[in-house]
Amino acid sequence: MSILNYHHRPWVAFESSNREHRKWFSEFQQSGTWGHCPVRFIIADEQGDLVSMIQRRLIHYYVSRESQPAKKVRAKV
């Protein structure tokens, strides 16, 4: 086994509900590189590329959050 295997970033499946995963993708969108990301994302489904998969998952995440009923806030009297 190569010594490089011990020093590489771990492979992780992207989870849209994970705040850090969303932050790392946002940093990638701004910089255009995964160079500062501490993990490497894997393509869970075999359709398309990594960026397209993440975008689809984020769309689903944010749309599902919008469609949930708003929490009622009680005003203190």
- pLDDT tens, 37-51? 999 999 877 777 999
Q: Are 11 and 40 in contact (CB under 8 A)?
A: yes
pLDDT at residue 1, as a whole number: 57
Q: Are 56 and 49 in contact (CB under 8 A)?
A: no
pTM of the model: 0.75
Q: What share of the chain is helix, strand, coil (3-state, %, to 5)?
A: 45, 10, 45
Residue whose structure tokens are 């190569």: 2
Whole-number Cα distances in Å, 49 to 15, 16, 65, 68: 16, 16, 25, 29
pLDDT greater than 80 at residue 30? yes
